[in-house]
Structure formats: structure tokens, C-alpha cells
Amino acid sequence: MDPITYRQVQLREVTENDLHVFFDQQLDPSANNMAAFTSKDPSDREAFMKHWNSILENENIIKKTIYYNGKVAGNISNFVQFDNPEVSYWIGKQYWGKGIASQALQKFLPYVKVRPLYARAAKDNIASIRVLEKCGFIISGEDKGFSNARGEEVEEYIFKLGINGELF
């Protein structure tokens, strides 16, 4: 497939209608396995909606819908986790391999003024690692935690983005 152009990926405010698409996207077992750190029961719509409604109500969380060619392709957000500002994204499986995550993250970073900014990826999630590195994140540490999706402990990289991509 041809790489996408920058203008095809857009970010917009998350709406309640987007939540139904987000829910359907996170039901895919292979996507959950790739992400590793997911909810205990991805099929629990009520828990999913409760979680996302709390995100929508939280003014301290920057959250955007990733739009690609007029369709909801996923979401991206910035929040505090483990006392650090982090960025996270989810792309629907049908949109993988098109460069959408990289473009979305590049467009999202100007919304997040704080640096350093962190991100995490399972060590075997090569696609997410590549997205983060393309956007200037550098591996700054390692961690591990229990993966609901895999039913086992999973190792992950901690990424850090400093000012102009430099660590400090």
C-alpha cells in the first residue's frame, strides 16, 4: 500500500458516538494481544463506557479521535500514569500498516506541552516501538507487568521524549 499523506490523518475532539467504534476496535483478540496491557474483559461494554466517560469528564486528559479518510481509525491521549505524563494510542486493526499511528502521534505532540513525555510499549510490539521512535521517543527504561490480554507477565519498554527529542 502507498504511504498516506499527512492531510489524510486528522485529529478531532472525542464524541460519545466515537466510543462505540473504540469499543468495537478493542474487541479484536490480536489487537489486545499486541497492546498487552488492556482491560480484564474487553467485551464488557458497560465497564468500557464507564471508563471512557470518566476520561471524557477529566479536563486534565488530552484526548483526540484519530480520523482517517472520513472514518474513526482510533484514539490518542495524554494522561498521568506512575506520576509521569504519558501518551497512548489505539488504532483499529483494519488501519494497521498505513502509517496512521505515526502521523497521529506527530499531530498530537503539539497539544501536549509538558516534557519529558513518556510512553510504553510491550517489548514485542515492534509496530508501536517503531511509531514512538519515528516521533523522537527514546527507550529510557524497562518495566514489566501483568497483561490481562496475555494472562502473563509481559516486559515493556519505557520511552521518553525530551525537548526537541532530547533526553534531560
DSSP conformation letters of the chain: -PPPPGGGEEEEE--HHHHHHHHHHTT-HHHHHHH----S-TT-HHHHHHHHHHHHH-TTSEEEEEEETTEEEEEEEEEEETTEEEEEEEE-GGGTTSSHHHHHHHHHGGG---SSEEEEEETT-HHHHHHHHHTT-EEEEEEEEEETTTTEEEEEEEEEE-GGG---
Residue 164 has a pLDDT of 58
Full-model pTM: 0.90
Choice between 33 and 45, residue whose per-residue pLDDT is larger = 45
Q: Which of 24-38, 64-78, 83-97 has the lowest mean pLDDT?
A: 24-38
Structure confidence by residue, pLDDT tens digits, 117-142:
999 999 999 999 999 999 999 999 99
117-122 and 71-81: which strand pairing?
unpaired
Q: CA 53, 14, 25 angle in degrees (round to 5)?
A: 80
Q: What confidence tier does 37 reach under pLDDT thresholds 50, 70, 90?
A: confident
2: pLDDT strictly greater than 50: no
The pLDDT of residue 168? 42
Which pLDDT band, with edges at 50, 70 and 90, does 167 fall under?
very low
Cβ-based neighbour number of residue 8 at 10 Å: 16
Domains of the chain: 6-165 (3.40.630.30)
Q: In DSSP terms, which residues pair with 79 in a beta bridge?
A: 86
Average pLDDT, the chain: 91
Residue type, 72: V
d(CA 156, CA 98): 24
**All three cell numbers of 118:** 513518556
